[in-house]
């Protein structure tokens, strides 16, 4: 995901680039959980590139270890 | 006009639709949205579903959220994307058992999932002049936006795409039908913008699909551009145009992902601020097309594939 964004940045200025999905997640074809983690991955992948560019990252509550009770 | 994303660098969002919560088992089934909100069970399910879907997108950290297209019924293969308007516009009566063009394309036959999807679609027949109906896009957006402080993007099918799911028995030709549909959608989009919606996504101009079809001329594509832009006249919001290579039942329509090469110069003539293109499925194969293209538009790229169940790795290296 981050690699695809980096590739896009070779041709499109960062100020003109928007990060989304190829299409919608539908209503019956995917499970809601899968759609959710695709969203999380989308933002985490974008955050990797934001970090590389020195841009502020979005907070991803879903990926915050302090908010999960499972442990290693 | 760019407003929401004007000062955002690398803003994130999803296209629009989101899987229904399992407990959201009631549907509009042709009812007006406002009327159905008087049905206690529908109201509670709908409002809770939209709240859940927005909460998930916020927890994921998306900058711009959607209502998941929750107005759509639980129908086969995303049928409601076409049929939410078809069931509500005036001038449409009855249906036929075959979809225009679809059933003779893409090698469809019984035994293929897309054949079943198309059999379920039952395209409507236009028997009288098309007139507006209770699409209530403004109300749908308001209900979603009051659940979030982030911008809620409202998305809907474009008029030319809608025409592909209708049989014309009234107008002198399909172009006349498309232009009437454009005027109807224009009124809807103006209303949703006037209600305060900051970001409207108009979905699936036919250009990239038509450009693949044998016999499509540049004049055909120019007509589609004129028609598409007609539906956006005077719509005061940030306008996004979404394109992809199909999504019936999360299925691929093309086994080999096509290229936007022929359609792209036409798509960039559309009256929009952001143009989105499918990229994850092709590993960004068309991105070099932008090397020599100068445009003021923002370009939205899909980095998540909607046709597989893998949740994608943020740092996954491309093939």
CA-based end-to-end distance of chain B: 37
* Helix, strand, coil percent values for chain A (each to nearest 5): 55, 5, 40
Distance from CA of B176 to the nearest CA of A (A): 29
- Contact list in A for residue B57 (CB cut-off 8 A) is 39
Domain B33-75+135-159+172-301: give its CATH code.
Answer: 3.20.20.210
Nearest CB to B309: which of A7, A34, A41?
A: A34
- Give the residue carrying structure tokens 């590739």: A7
Q: Is A9 on the interface with B (CB under 8 A)?
A: no
Residue of chain A nearest B273, judged by CA positions: A16
Is A13 in CB contact (< 8 Å) with chain B? no
The packing angle between helices B40-60 and B137-145, to 10°, is 60
Q: Do B302 and A17 touch (CB under 8 A)?
A: no
3-state class (DSSP) for residue B299 = strand
User: Collapsing DSSP states into helix, strand and coil, what is residue B291?
Assistant: helix
Distance from CA of A69 to the nearest CA of B (A): 17
C-beta atoms of A39 and B19 within 8 A: no
- B277 forms beta bridges with B301
**Do the Cβ atoms of A26 and B283 come within 8 Å?**
no
| Smallest Cα distance from A7 to chain B, Å | 7
Q: How many residues are there in chain A?
A: 72
What's the pLDDT at B100?
73
3-class DSSP assignment, residue B65: strand
Q: How far is Cα B146 from Cα A43, in angstroms, rounded to an integer?
A: 23
Q: Which residue of B has its CA nearest to A55?
A: B9
Residue A47 structural domain: 2-67
Angle at which helices A32-53 and B40-60 cross, to 10°:
30
Residue B118: φ, ψ to 5°: -65, -35
The enclosing H or E element of B125 equals strand B124-131
User: What total number of domains does chain A contain?
Assistant: 1
d(CA B35, CA A22): 33
β-pairing, B166-168 vs B124-131, is parallel
DSSP state of A15: G
Give the residue from B268, B225, B217, B72 showing the smallest Cα distance to B157: B72
Q: Where are the domains of chain B?
A: 33-75+135-159+172-301
Could you tell me if B148 and B67 are in contact, meaning their C-beta atoms sit under 8 angstroms apart? no
Give the per-residue pLDDT at B319.
41
> Does B253 or A47 have the greater pLDDT score?
A47
CA distance A71 to chain B (A): 20
The number of C-beta contacts closer than 8 angstroms across A and B is 240
Q: What is the mean pLDDT of each run of 10 residues along chain B (319 residues)?
A: 96 97 96 98 98 98 98 94 98 91 81 90 96 98 98 98 96 98 98 98 97 95 98 98 91 89 98 98 97 95 89 64
Q: How far does B292 lie from chain A, in Å, by closest CA?
A: 9
8 Å CB contact between B170 and B91: yes
Select the residue of A12, A23, A46 nearest B247 (Cβ to Cβ). A23
Strand partners, B301: A19, B277
Rounded to 10 degrees, the C-alpha dihedral B145/B197/B164/B122 comes to 30
| A53 pLDDT above the threshold of 80 | yes
A36 vs B56, B306, B315: nearest CB: B56
C-beta atoms of A15 and B61 within 8 A = no
Let me know if residue A72 belongs to a domain. Answer: no
Q: CA of B169, closest CA in chain A: separation in Å?
A: 31
- A63 belongs to a structural domain: yes
CB within 8 Å: B306 and A62:
no
**A65 close to B (CB below 8 A):** no
**Tokens read off for B109:** 């036959």
CB B247 within 8 A of CB B200: no
Is there a contact between B297 and A28 if contact means CB atoms under 8 Å apart?
A: no
- Euclidean distance between the first and final Cα of chain A, in Å? 26
Q: Does some domain include residue A58? A: yes
Report field, pTM of the whole predicted structure over 0.90: yes
């Amino acid at each position: 995901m981050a690699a695809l964004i980096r590739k896009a940045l070779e041709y499109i200025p960062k100020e003109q680039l928007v990060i989304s999905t190829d299409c919608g997640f539908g209503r019956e074809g995917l499970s809601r959980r899968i759609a959710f983690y695709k969203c999380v991955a989308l933002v985490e992948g974008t955050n990797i590139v934001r970090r590389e560019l020195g841009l502020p990252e979005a907070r991803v509550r879903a990926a915050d270890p302090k908010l999960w009770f499972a442990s290693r | 006009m760019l407003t929401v994303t004007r000062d955002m660098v690398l803003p994130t969002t999803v296209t629009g639709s989101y899987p229904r919560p399992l407990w959201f088992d009631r549907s509009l089934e042709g009812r007006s949205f406002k009327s159905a909100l008087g049905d206690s069970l529908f109201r509670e399910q709908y409002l809770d579903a939209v709240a859940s879907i927005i909460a998930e997108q916020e927890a994921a950290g998306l900058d711009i959220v959607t209502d998941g297209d929750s107005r759509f019924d639980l129908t086969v293969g995303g049928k409601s994307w076409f049929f939410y308007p078809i069931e509500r516009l005036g001038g449409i009566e009855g249906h036929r058992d075959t979809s225009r063009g679809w059933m003779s394309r893409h090698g469809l036959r019984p035994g293929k999932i897309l054949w079943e999807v198309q059999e379920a679609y039952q395209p409507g027949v236009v028997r009288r002049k098309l007139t507006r109906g209770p699409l209530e896009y403004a109300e749908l957006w308001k209900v979603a936006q009051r659940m979030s402080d982030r911008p809620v993007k409202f998305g809907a099918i474009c008029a030319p795409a809608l025409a592909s799911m209708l049989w014309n028995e009234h107008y002198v030709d399909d172009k006349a039908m498309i232009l009437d549909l454009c005027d109807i959608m224009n009124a809807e989009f103006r209303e949703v913008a006037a209600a305060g919606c900051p970001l409207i996504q108009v979905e699936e101009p036919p250009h990239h699909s038509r450009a693949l079809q044998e016999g499509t001329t540049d004049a055909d594509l120019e007509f589609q551009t004129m028609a598409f832009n007609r539906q956006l006249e005077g719509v005061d919001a940030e306008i996004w145009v979404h394109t992809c290579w199909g999504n019936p039942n999360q299925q691929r329509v093309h086994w080999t992902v096509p290229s936007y090469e022929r359609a792209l110069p036409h798509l960039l003539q559309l009256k929009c601020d952001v143009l989105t293109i499918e990229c994850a499925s092709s590993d960004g194969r068309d991105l070099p097309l932008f090397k020599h293209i100068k445009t003021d538009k923002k370009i939205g790229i899909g980095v998540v594939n909607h046709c597989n169940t893998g949740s994608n790795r943020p740092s996954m290296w491309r093939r």
